[in-house]
Amino acid sequence: MSQSSTPQDLETSAIVEAVESSDIHRLVYNGKEIILIGTAHISRESVATVTRAIEQEQPDCVCVELDEQRYQTLKDRNRWEKLNILQVVKSGQVPFLMANLALASFQKRMGLHTGVKPGEELAAAAQTAEDLDIRVALVDRNIRTTLLRAWRKTGFWKKMNLVATLFAGMFEKQELNEEELSQLRQTDSLSSMLEEMGDILPAAKTILVDERDAWMTYHILQAAGEKTVAVVGAAHVPGITRCLDAPPDAETIADMGIIPPKSTLSKCIPWIVPAIVALLFVVGFFFGDRSRLLDAATAWVLANGTLSALGALLAMGHPLTILSAFVAAPLTSLNPTIGAGFVTALVQAMKVPPTVRDMEQVSDDIAHLSGWWRNRVTRVLLVFFLSSLGSTIGTFVAFGWLKDLI
């Protein structure tokens, strides 16, 4: 499985030669034919289209909108059985896993109506190519790199908007049939949706869509033979077509593969909170009413502990998980190296460890609101998220109380 072949001098602009259907676009670049197929990741029609196109065209290479991690995920349908939730918590990968599941949940719910698993057309394209002994190239950027770039290049309030959108998407009921999916794949509909996304979350749209258009264009050209079939989400077809007119160079692509460091503010915030709290207590001790320091400490414990415990309760955490939230939150709020969610998720995973059935059912349970609470794997993630959220809110509430007491 290769991601690119030997780079060649590709300076000729691309021209659209013909369009066989609304989903298939024939392009010619530097004398090489590129058959670009725009798909919907939950469409049965897309599965049939890519399979038929590869069988009929017999290309030299098939490029798919996947990176190695997602390709292995699609190939290994039993991947959840191998998940070690304790290791996920200990390695600090819970936010990344939860973001992936939130996205998968949205696609899964739409796919239930069509009977197609998300990404099945990409897996079908790779499998068909392998069956016909055709070279396969994985041309998308690593998903972790993409998500971290989007997160770190987005401002604080836009981040909150992004988190809220992902979280709301976990509960939104969305069903599309094949006819609606066909209309959604049309360029004009997609263009208006992407423009709207660009207005709301410009940095996220640039990284999630525009950068990946350029990335995939570069690697499609690098892998291209005399005839190449490229299977990508329909949203990327207009951008890839534009990029073919002025392909990105290797230096530009290398920059897009770099995860930007955390901003100075992001690094400082975890230390600012305990510093302010400590300062308030010092000021209160030397210049304020010392008799009220105990009240201030009590306020800090109650605000952090109660709201974090409430979050764990809403996630239906084990009683010891709820107790650990109450005890840990006031302390972790003063410790920039560990969060309340880390403690509560660890306790929940140890007290209510996922069963084999939970592992097997994750991909199905995330499609239903109740499934997030019923499944022990996703309940650990909810415990992490809601107890962390409660502790964060509690910190701000406590500041108000401390200001009045000290």
Q: Where are the beta strands (DSSP E) in 103-240?
A: 135-138, 227-233
* pLDDT (0 to 100) of residue 324: 95
Quick one: average pLDDT of 375-379? 89
Contact (Cβ atoms closer than 8 angstroms) between residue 218 and residue 14: no
Q: Which residue has the higher pLDDT, 372 or 62?
A: 62
Give the other-Cβ count within 10 Å of 255's Cβ. 10
C-alpha distance from residue 179 to each of 36, 51, 114, 152, 175 (Å)? 21, 19, 10, 37, 12
Distance CA 351, CA 354 (A): 10
Closest CA to 248 of 297, 278, 210: 210
Any idea which residue has 């077509």 for tokens? 241
Q: Which residue has the higher pLDDT, 293 or 299?
A: 299
Contact (Cβ atoms closer than 8 angstroms) between residue 317 and residue 381: no
* pLDDT (0 to 100) of residue 149: 87
Q: How confident is the model at residue 251 (pLDDT cuts 50, 70, 90)?
A: very high
**Rg for the chain, CA atoms, rounded:** 25
Query: Where is average pLDDT lowest: 13-22, 47-56, 241-250?
Result: 13-22
Tokens standing for residue 223? 């892998």
Provide the mean pLDDT of the chain. Answer: 77
Contacts of 179 (CB under 8 A, 6+ apart): none
Dihedral angle of Cα 324, 327, 328, 332, to the nearest 10 degrees: 170
* pLDDT (0 to 100) of residue 33: 94
Contact (Cβ atoms closer than 8 angstroms) between residue 33 and residue 27: yes
Quick one: average pLDDT of 159-173? 61
Contacts of 98 (CB under 8 A, 6+ apart): 381, 384, 385
Closest CA to 234 of 42, 61, 98, 59: 42
Tokens standing for residue 200? 């709301």
SS3 287: helix
* pLDDT (0 to 100) of residue 171: 54
Measured distance between the N- and C-terminal CA atoms of the chain, rounded to whole angstroms? 64
* pLDDT (0 to 100) of residue 73: 76
Tokens standing for residue 229? 């079939």
Closest CA to 126 of 170, 208, 64, 76: 64
Rounded to 5 degrees, what are φ and ψ at 6? -65, 125
Q: Which residue has the higher pLDDT, 366 or 51?
A: 51
Q: Which residue has the higher pLDDT, 182 or 161?
A: 161
Contact (Cβ atoms closer than 8 angstroms) between residue 81 and residue 157: no
* pLDDT (0 to 100) of residue 306: 94
Query: Where is average pLDDT lowest: 92-106, 220-234, 249-263, 365-379?
Result: 92-106
C-alpha distance from residue 216 to each of 253, 311, 387, 389 (Å)? 10, 41, 39, 36
- Which tens digit of pLDDT belongs to each residue from 47-74? 888 999 999 999 999 999 999 888 887 7
313, pLDDT greater than 80 = yes
Quick one: average pLDDT of 266-295? 71
C-alpha distance from residue 333 to each of 242, 268, 284, 330, 341 (Å)? 48, 14, 20, 5, 11
Distance CA 29, CA 14 (A): 5
Q: Which residue has the higher pLDDT, 49 or 269?
A: 49
* pLDDT (0 to 100) of residue 228: 95
Distance CA 160, CA 169 (A): 14
Distance CA 296, CA 113 (A): 54
- Which tens digit of pLDDT belongs to each residue from 72-127? 877 766 665 566 777 778 777 777 777 677 666 655 554 444 445 667 888 899 99
Q: Where are the beta strands (DSSP E) in 15-142?
A: 15-18, 24-29, 32-39, 61-64, 135-138
